[in-house]
Each structure stands twice: as structure tokens, then as C-alpha cells.
Amino acid sequence: MTESVKLSELTQALNLEIVTGNDEAMDRSVFTSDISRPGLELTGYFSYYSNDRLQLFGNKEITFAQRMMPEERLMILRRLCSDETPGFIVSRNLPVPEEMIQACQEHQIAILRSKASTSRLLGEMSSYLDEQLATRTSVHGVLVDVYGLGVLIQGDSGIGKSETALELIKRGHRLIADDRVDVYKKDDLNLVGEPPKILEHLIEIRGIGIIDVMNLFGASAVRGSMQVQLVVYLENWAKDKKYDRLGTSDETVNIGSVDVPQIKIPVKTGRNVAIIIEVAAMNYRARSMGYDATKAFEERLSRLIEENSSN
């Protein structure tokens, strides 16, 4: 199914003024985050006109249109209107030409207006549409905001992901999504996770059932979305398996075509997994800022070996 955004949704999200547009016009869908500034089209050049994009009129476009004869202006604006055109948007609270209103009303196309500058409005619309139109993928796990770091907790069913997340929430961290996380690419390097609407603020604890985190712990215990920066995979402790004790392995997991750093934590009785995840998040942030405890240890070890060799 092709992702789309209703013009009415865009209007509400960016607090736009409706200059003209009935229910049918506001029900039109936007299918692309690309925005068109029809400067060349106002001169009569329509060979590469992108009629499926939102048409943004800034100071240059409005000033140029105002210098045209009324008949020519109406003719050009009528050509800008098509069955595929989602809508016209005017920035800087600029006056809307009567011919634009007439042409849009003839084709049931809405005209919206914003107080924002053209460049700022362009950025806000592109950012909003990129997010809303991004293809979403569902992954199994629990997404938690730990010290401002988006940590996705994964593992086998029944290993205690939700219980660990609940302990983290009690320790002051925030829940984004439990059981199922909808993820989308913000750009080529960044992945964002959010809860499905039906599971928002909810967490399932075996033996208790479903609990509402915001109702029990307050609004500060939940968050609507978060960048997925670290994956923690919980696995059952195996006596004969060798685990990374120095932190030298740099594993990643591919989610939604983005490689995300992953660490594996063995789970057994007596280990406080929530505290370990807190430390893992702090250690990851420290490494991101240039400090690597593993390298520091290796440097100390090398110096010690050199000192012993020289004696």
C-alpha cells in the first residue's frame, strides 16, 4: 500500500491557514515529500512540471505573478491546477492573487498559507512528509529511552524483555514501545522507532497482564518516538559458550536497511539486566564521545608488558 498524507493532516500538523478549500479539496492526498516552487511554470514553461507535488509560492513567485496581466495570470494558474495537484501553499502571509483563488476553486484545489518564511516552511513540510511517508517495518522487541539513548531490547520469547523494560522505567527511564516497534528510516544512517497506535503507552507483563505505563508512572515515563541507536540482545546463559569479556567485538544488526550496533547479554539468575543495560548505554555514549575503556585497558597492558620486558 502506498503511503500518503491527507492535506488536512498537513494543515493541522503545521498550523496552516486555509485560504480556500472545501472538504473535497482538503481530502486530497500527498504522495511525495518533494515540494515544487513553480518559478519556471509562471513563465509558461511546463515541459517538466511536477503536478503531483505541493506547489509552494514564496515572495519571488507571488511578486512575479503580480506583475503579469490578470488574463495571463489566470491562464497560467489554471495550467498549474490538475487532478493530481495536492494543493497550493503561500508563505510569509503573502496576499493571494484573486486569479489563484478562482483557478483553485474551479479545480477543487485548496490554498493554504503560513506565516513562516519560504525556506523554513519548505524545511518543515519536507521533514514532516519524509517522516509520514517513510516505509515502516515492524520488529519484535522493546524500545526504551535510556539516558537519552534509544535502546532496542530483543531476545527470545519469555526471556524477560518487558520485565527488564519495566525495571528501567522504575529507575526513571522512558518507554517508547513494547512487544512491537514500528521503525522507519529518517535518513540513510538514522532509524526511528515508535509504537503502533493500539499499543501506545502499554506494556505486557506475564502474570499481571497489560498495564498502562503513563497511567501508573506518569507522562514522564513514556515517549512517542526515539532514534534506535543500540540493540541489546538478551540470550539464555550457556555454561559452555564463550562470551566477550573485553568488549572488543563490534557486532551490528541490520534493521530497515540500517546497521545498528548490537551487544549480547547472557541472562541468568542473579544478574540485574536493567543495571547492565544502563551501563551498556553509558559505555556506548562514552565510546561515541571518543573514550573506549577497552582500548585504555589494552594500552595499559601493552605498557606493563614493555616495562616488564625492559627489566
* Residue 19 Cα distances to 22, 25, 79, angstroms: 10, 12, 20
Q: What is the residue type of 62? A: I
- Residue 153: its pLDDT value, please? 95
Among residues 60, 120, 140, 300, the one annotated as catalytic is: 140
Return the pLDDT at 287: 83
| pLDDT tens digits for range 191-230 | 999 999 999 999 998 889 999 999 999 999 999 999 999 9
Helix 161-170 vs helix 273-288: angle between axes, to the nearest 10 degrees? 70
Query: Helix, strand, coil shares of the chain as percentages rounded to 5?
Result: 35, 25, 35
Known catalytic residue at 179: yes
**Catalytic residue list contains 140:** yes
Angle at 209 between CA 206 and CA 212, to 5 degrees: 125
Give the active site residue among 206, 239, 245, 250. Answer: 245
* The pLDDT of residue 45: 93
Strand, helix or coil for residue 129 = helix
CA 48, CA 124: separation in Å to the nearest integer?
Answer: 25
Annotated binding-site residue? 158: yes
Predicted local distance difference test score (pLDDT) of residue 158: 83
- Known binder of ligand: residue 117? no
pLDDT beneath 50: ranges in the chain:
1
Give the active site residue among 78, 179, 264, 285. Answer: 179
Distance between CA atoms of 260 and 190, rounded to whole angstroms?
9
Per-residue model confidence (pLDDT) at position 248: 57
d(CA 124, CA 63): 23
pTM more than 0.85? no
* 148 marked as part of a ligand binding site: no
User: 264 Cβ partners below 8 Å, 6+ apart?
Assistant: 232, 233, 234, 235, 243, 244, 251
Q: Is there a binding annotation on residue 159? A: yes
Is 21 annotated to bind a ligand? Reply is no
User: H helices within the chain, ranges in order?
Assistant: 7-13, 23-26, 39-42, 59-66, 70-80, 98-106, 118-133, 161-170, 213-217, 273-288, 293-310
Q: What is the pLDDT of residues 278-289, one digit of tens each?
A: 988 988 888 887
Contact 103, 71 (CB under 8 A): no
User: How many angstroms separate the CA atoms of 125 and 90, rounded?
Assistant: 12
Catalytic residue, chosen from 161, 173, 174, 185, is 161
Whether residue 242 is annotated as binding a ligand: the answer is no
Per-residue confidence (pLDDT) for residue 1, from 0 to 100: 44
Q: Is 310 annotated to bind ligand? A: no
- Annotated binding residue at 247? no
The pLDDT, as a whole number, for residue 233 is 93
For residue 162, say whether it is annotated as part of any ligand binding site: yes
Q: Give dist(CA 172, CA 38) in Å, integer.
A: 50
Could you give the domains of the chain? 5-133 (3.40.1390.20), 137-296 (3.40.50.300)
